[in-house]
Chain A
Amino acid sequence: MDNLNTYLSIAAILFSLGMFGVITRRNAIAVLMGIELILNSANLNFLAFAKFGGMNMSGHIFALFVIIMAAAEAAVALAIIINIYNNYKTINVDDVRELRQ
């Protein structure tokens, strides 16, 4: 079980679940959760390659930066969603349609 393929498969499944979440969910928070899944699947890839590939530290560093960036992005996204809720009284992305489609 403890080999590269296991980790890559899990990462691929996570990625697909994240994609599915972003596309099907209408709640803005759930969409964000889908995006987090995608980011973490990439992280898992980086760490798996770094561990089994016998590579340099780049993989670990990349994963750390991704975590930092995901936090920054979540902070901004949640602030925007709170603002949306204050103005629209909903966080359903389909109901937020002031602009012409």
Chain B
Amino acid sequence: MNNLQSLSYYWPEIILTVTVLVAILVDLFYSDKNSGKTALWVLGGLILTQIAIYVQDSEMTRTLFMGNLAFDPFASFFKTLTILSTVLVIIISQKTNELDGHRTGEYYSLMAIMVFGMFLMASAIDLIMIYLAIEIVSIVSFILAGYLKGDLRSNEAALKYVIYGAFSSGIMLFGMSIVFGLAGSTKYFVIQEAMWNLQGSAHFAFTLASIFILAGFGYKISAVPFHFWTPDVYEGAPTPITAYLSVAPKAVGFAVIIRFFNTVFGDGGAFIDPSISTFTNIPWPQILAVLSVITMTLGNLVALQQNSIKRMLAYSSIAHAGYMLMALPTLSSQGAYAIMLYLFMYIFMNLGAFFVVIYVKSQGGGESFDDFRGLGWKMPIVGIVMTVFMLSLTGIPPTAGFIGKFYIFASVIKVGPQLYWLAIVGAINSVISLYYYFRVVKVMFLEGEPSETIVVPSASVLAILFTFAIPTILFGIYWVPIANWVSQSLKLFIKVM
């Protein structure tokens, strides 16, 4: 479809672009103190964007802008996830005290730009588009990680982020250049066809190039061995941004990986054959399985030793990336389904845990385990809600985290005996994670002096806490609507040969 025709399918992105421009403009008219009101404009724009996505009928899949973007339910699903997490993060940003004394207008407009980049990531089916989308998201997140200009830790986070980010996208780019040379095109579908006709040493070149490209994708979802930036950036960045980086870019990172594996290595995104043929002689399922095992084991083992809850959550997010990667070696529609469901559940529990950290810090506490000592007695509601998030992150029923993990394990076991070991390692890892998640609960309720005074959070904080806690429990008991939504969304654009 040519450029002009495509525009009528591009309303969400157009509205989003207008939102960004409006947010930057209105911010000029606010004084430093009122700059935070830009958030309302961004929130309004995001809600309009979501309505536009909802109204669109993406059932009829097609490509936009000369085959650069795919327009399908799969992309719409990830766009919705992006908007959901951005709206939640903008709301929790209101309650942090880390941004005090900073002009926050740009903070919200930058977030809206990042949403645009993530929309492109969710729908790109062209190497140029993928590169641009990943760079848009990365460059904006470098700025957001270093938003606290006077803060040494935030500075360091931004420096490490920019070096690792630029380095890994450079490697990815080099891989893309080789793939372009082998296939003669940057379009996924042309690459897929060209790969079938590779001969001799071209196989080796393609293997090397796909490993380079995987480095760029792995960096976005912080999979080992491309995870080195994660703990430092997550600890140094402002906490709402940490929360944001741990859900939204990671979710679309998985969208990029699923689309790439299914379109370039697989059957063109049709999900017909449960075991997708791998035409190169590379054992992709085994490589991905090993990657997933290393990722979750390292994340969990290092999380055990942390003294800062924020840093512990950073390592736990690496471990969760490992759990989600577990479903990828299945290379089946069930695997993709499980990852999508998990991502949805993960948004609520992880953002909720980070919100508790933000709230405790804004009440004069800190981020370390010592600061949480006796919290359950001082602020019982916060303590109980945090316990729910920890249960859910561990994956104990009846919480959303359990349902997510259940589908992941089910998809792995369904493949057959050759992947049983992966499920067993995953189960052992869940047990390890129980230790450090429950350390939070233990510190909150069993240590410290029972406090005389009970602090009840303000109504708005309570409302936010329950926005995260209620879905975390509710989707653990009744997840049918979500499951239906995910299975309807599991429809990628298919090339009609």
A-side interface residues, number (CB < 8 Å): 44
The answer to whether A93 and B159 touch (CB under 8 A), given A22-B167, A45-B174, A87-B152, is yes
Question: Which residues of the other chain, A, contact B143 by a CB distance below 8 angstroms?
Answer: 76
Name A96's closest neighbour in chain B (CB-CB). B156
B162 within 8 Å of A (CB atoms): yes
Asked if A58 and B159 make an inter-chain contact with CB atoms under 8 angstroms apart, the answer reads: no
B185 at the interface (CB under 8 A from A): yes
A56 shortest CB reach to chain B, Å = 7
Pick from A62, A77, A81: contact of B180, CB below 8 A.
A62
**Contacting pair A38 B173 (CB below 8 A):** yes
B153, CB-defined interface residue at 8 Å? yes
User: CB-CB < 8 A to B146: which residues of A?
Assistant: 80, 83
Chain A residues contacting B157 (CB-CB under 8 Å) are 99
Contacts of A100 in B (CB 8 A): 235, 308, 311
Kindly state the separation between the CA atoms of A96 and B158 in the bound complex, as whole angstroms.
11
With A and B bound together, what is the CA distance between A23 and B17 in angstroms? Answer: 38
The answer for the CA separation of A87 and B170 in the assembled complex, in Å, is: 28
Distance A39 CA – B171 CA, assembled complex (angstroms): 8
C-alpha spacing A88/B159, complex, angstroms? 12
| Pairwise interchain contact A80-B170, C-beta atoms closer than 8 A | no
- Kindly identify which residue among A41, A62, A83, A98 contacts B186, using a CB–CB cutoff of 8 Å: A62
- Chain A contacts of B21 at CB under 8 A? none
Do A87 and B155 have beta carbons less than 8 Å apart? yes
Task: Give A87 to B158 CA distance when docked, in angstroms.
Answer: 13
Q: Is the CB of B149 within 8 A of A42?
A: no
Segment 131-160 of B: residues with Cβ below 8 Å from A: 131-132, 135, 138-139, 142-143, 146, 149-150, 152-153, 155-159
User: Does B178 belong to the interface (CB within 8 Å)?
Assistant: yes
Closest to B145 in A: A80
Select B135's contact among A28, A38, A73, beta carbons within 8 Å.
A73
Q: With a CB–CB cut-off of 8 A, which chain B residues contact A15?
A: 174
Report the bound CA distance from A73 to B140 in whole Å.
10
B126's nearest neighbour on chain A, judged by CB, is A58
Residues of B within 8 A of A28 (CB): 159, 163
**Given contact pairs A15-B174, A38-B167, A39-B170, A96 touches B131 in the complex (Cβ within 8 A):** no
Closest Cβ of chain B to A64, distance in Å, is 10
In the complex the two chains form, what is the Cα distance from A100 to B155 in whole Å?
Answer: 14
**B156 and A72 contact, CB distance less than 8 A:** no
Q: Is the interface of B mostly helix, strand, loop or mixed?
A: helix
- Chain B residues, Cβ within 8 Å of A43: 177
Measured CA separation A23–B171 after assembly (Å)? 13
Q: Which residue of B lies closest to A41 (CB)?
A: B174
Shortest CB–CB separation between residue A59 and chain B, in angstroms? 6
B residues in contact with A22, CB < 8 Å: 163, 167
Residues of B contacting A18 in the complex (Cβ-Cβ under 8 angstroms):
170
Closest partner residue, chain B, to A61 (CB atom): B128
User: What residues of chain A lie closer than 8 Å to B181, measured between beta carbons?
Assistant: 8, 45, 48-49, 53
- B139 pairs with A73, CB closer than 8 A: yes
Are B139 and A72 within 8 A (Cβ)? yes
Task: Tell me the A1-43 residues at the B interface (CB within 8 Å).
Answer: 8, 11, 15, 18, 22, 28, 31-32, 35, 38-39, 41-43
Complex: how many Å from CA A77 to CA B169? 14
Measured between beta carbons, the chain B residues less than 8 angstroms from A38 are: 167, 170-171, 173-174
Which among A48, A62, A84 is the interface contact of B127 at CB below 8 angstroms?
Answer: A62
Q: Judge whether A83 and B155 touch: CB under 8 Å.
A: yes
Q: Is B128 a contact partner of A49 (Cβ separation < 8 A)?
A: no
Closest CB in chain A relative to B350 CB, distance in Å: 21
Judging by beta carbons under 8 Å apart, are B159 and A80 in contact? yes
| Partner of B176 from A8, A42, A53, A69 at Cβ < 8 Å | A42
Instruction: Please determine whether A49 and B135 come into contact, CB atoms closer than 8 angstroms.
Output: no
CB proximity of B202 to chain A, nearest CB, Å = 13
- Residue A84 contacts which of B142, B159, B232 (CB distance < 8 angstroms)? B159
Q: Across the interface, name the chain A residue whose C-beta is closest to B138.
A: A73
Across-interface contacts of A66 in B (CB, < 8 A)? 131, 173
Report the minimal beta-carbon distance from A7 to chain B, rounded to whole angstroms. Answer: 10
Q: Name the distance in Å between A37's Cβ and chain B's nearest Cβ.
A: 9
The answer, among A42, A72, A77, for a CB contact under 8 Å with B177, is: A42
B236 interface contact, C-beta 8 A = yes
Contacts of B235 in A (CB 8 A): 99-100
Q: Chain A residues with Cβ under 8 A from B311's Cβ?
A: 100
A46 near B177 with CB under 8 A, answer: yes
In the complex where A45-B177, A62-B186, A83-B146 touch, is A35 in contact with B170 (Cβ < 8 A)? Answer: yes
Q: How far is the CA of A31 from the CA of B163 in the complex (A)?
A: 8
CB distance from A91 to the nearest CB of B (A): 9
A69 to B184, CA, bound (A): 22
Q: Can you list the 9 inter-chain pairs with the closest CB atoms, starting with the nearest?
A: A45-B177, A38-B170, A49-B181, A42-B173, A42-B177, A98-B152, A42-B174, A35-B166, A80-B158
Q: A8-B181, A45-B178, A76-B139 are in contact. List 19 more A-B contacts (CB 8 A).
A: A15-B174, A28-B159, A35-B166, A38-B173, A45-B180, A46-B177, A58-B180, A59-B180, A73-B135, A73-B138, A73-B166, A77-B163, A80-B155, A81-B159, A88-B152, A93-B163, A99-B153, A99-B156, A99-B157
Cβ contacts A to B, 18 pairs, < 8 Å: A22-B163, A32-B166, A35-B170, A39-B170, A45-B181, A56-B184, A65-B128, A73-B138, A73-B162, A76-B142, A76-B162, A77-B162, A80-B142, A83-B158, A87-B155, A98-B153, A98-B156, A100-B308
